[in-house]
Chains A and B, each alone.
Chain A
Amino acid sequence: MSEQKNLPVPDPGLEEHEHRYTDVNEAAADRAYKQIVGMLAAVPVLVLAFLFVYFGVPKDAELVLFGANLQMQTTLLGLTGGLATLMIGVAAIAWARSLMSDEEIVGERHGAASPPEARERVLADLETGIEASGIRRRKLLGTGMAGALGLIAVPALVSLADLGPWPTPALRAETIERTIWAEGVRLVNDVSYLPLKASDLEVGQLVNAVPETLEKIEDGPAFQEAKAKAAIIVVRMDPNSIKIPDSRKDWQINGILSYSKICTHVGCPISLWEQLTHHLLCPCHQSTFDLANSGVVVFGPAARSLPQLPITTDSEGYLVARSDFTVPVGPSYFERDSSKDFKEGDR
């Protein structure tokens, strides 16, 4: 207690111990004892109930509780098993709080630092070791080891190049900047591959479409890649109610226009088209494109208009593409040339 003087606040010492009700009243202690034993005695009952439910309740029985449609068996298994576990836990806590001794015990602690002799001995051992390694006299040993350890990381870093091909302009033009759309490829309904006749589309119609050539690609990564880039939406609007720039006059047929389905922000597929406002809303970040105005962005984080696919009809009246997209579809990437994208006010 000689350190007492150095403390900023004097040590008040232990509070006087207050005895619990169960310590001073034998009847209360008995009551707590019975409660705890009662909770423990509930466990075998619940376990038996669990076993009964496991073997006795049919797996497909249903239970409607507060409007929720539940599986009878799993619900009862959870209730019985969970309650049994809960009873064990509550009994243990009640035991500790009301019956186990709660007298305070003081355990003195020593300082954390090692004694000064031990510290000096360790430093001396370290010095002996460094001297014995010879690194002080033959200095290149240390430098050489450090350099070698550093260089051994180079093969690991270089092999990261295997993560993908080097994105040269030629490779980009063949992959990310190209889709399977081409001149004369028919537009077909997604899922059913039904070809779309221009005369069958009504004003206000929305079609989720893909190129007919997609059907011939075998299901797998190649199919997914092709579909992810080539998915389009076809809409028909009243030609008098929309803006068609001169440069895109022959990209559409009587107000039937076709746009990439892939958002230019981060590439979510979009098909939430509002017929009355002609707005297309991306569900991911609420980017909104005006399909009545060449797909320009009217709201949200997307920075570029939705690429439009030039379409026309073939001799039988079916919708076909005039070419591939004129700009890369989908989200931006570092090397992308965005100078050819449609901007508000372009003719």
Chain B
Amino acid sequence: MRFLTSGRRHKAARPLLLLLSLFLVGAVYAAVSPATNSSAEGVADAQLVAAGKNLFAVNCASCHGLNAEGLVQQGAPNLTNVGAAAVDFQVRTRRMPMANPLTQAVPGSKTIFTDDEIKALAAYVASLGNGPAIPDQNQYDPSSVSAEGAARGGDLFRTNCSACHNFKGAGGALPNGLVAPSIEKTPPQQVWEALRTGPGQMPVFAAGAIPDQDVQKVIAYIKQVNAAPSAGLSLGGLGPVAEGFWAWVAGIGSLVLFAIWIATRGARA
């Protein structure tokens, strides 16, 4: 045991000892504490729901109540039956938690939660009642939609969505200072979730009227119409004349500058 005692006054001995003890404590804790990756799904679900409940109590309960019953008079809805899809959509897009009551989120904001936290919150709210679950990829993935399907999706989009979101999804204004956001770059999963849960002023478009295949067609249309090159400045698909108008402004503008330059040169210039 000489090699242990001989080095005990060495400079590095104390930091090394500290590291070693930390490692030992960690290893013992990992061995003794309950496993997080339990193979039994029910146990994992229960843990997810419990974790979600804690997150909910900290981040959501001040408006929606400790049991998600809501403060309906103040504008915070009851969340019993909104489902996991609504939570995933609202939290992932930073619509929730709200900065101020009844203030619309700034488009493009980043969520304040990790994927796991969102999953836990969604699992907790989903455990309270019935509502649309987070969709599988085969429910919204538009990759199998044909060109004809995308055209049909365009019909559906212009009939159901364009009143607020513009005919290529550029978004638009709503009463009382609200905004229908641009959905040109919205991920397909969020489009599906928004249709099924009706966030904010947006109506619900449930499967009874727009089945999943039709949602895929609509998403295919949004992708297709936004992949097409615009004629110039994109003005929400107003068309090539209006979009190319910047060239007219720039062209006539430079001619005006030329004319001014010519005319300001007097006789003695």
- Chain A residues proximal to chain B, CB less than 8 Å: 18-21, 62, 67-71, 78, 82, 86, 90, 93-94, 97, 102, 189-192, 194, 196-197, 199-208, 235, 270-277, 279, 281, 283, 288
Contacts and interface: CB of A to CB of B under 8 A. Distances in A.
Q: Which among A20, A71, A190, A276 has the highest number of chain B CB atoms within 10 Å?
A: A276
Contact of B204 (A97, A202, A208): A202
Contacts of B265: 97
Contacts of A18: 267-268
B214 interface: yes
Interface of B: 152, 155-156, 159-160, 163-164, 174-175, 198, 200-211, 214, 229-234, 246-247, 251, 255, 258, 262, 265, 267-269
Shortest 5 CB-CB contacts between residues of A and residues of B: A200-B208, A206-B203, A272-B163, A274-B201, A204-B204
Contacts of B247: 78
A303 to B, nearest CB: 20
A21 B249 CA distance: 34
8 contacts: A18-B267, A21-B267, A21-B269, A199-B208, A205-B198, A275-B200, A275-B204, A288-B175
Contacts, number: 108
B183 to A, nearest CB: 15
Contact of B203 (A62, A68, A190, A204): A204
User: Helix, strand, loop or mixed for chain B's interface?
Assistant: loop
Contact of A204 (B160, B198, B246, B268): B198
A279 B160 CA distance: 16
Nearest to B251: A82
B208 A201 contact: yes
A71 B244 CA distance: 11
Given A21-B269, A274-B174, A274-B175, A200 B262 contact: no
Nearest to A21: B268
B204 A276 contact: no
Contacts of B163: 270-272, 283
Nearest to A236: B204
B229 A200 contact: no
Given A21-B268, A97-B262, A288-B175, A70 B205 contact: no
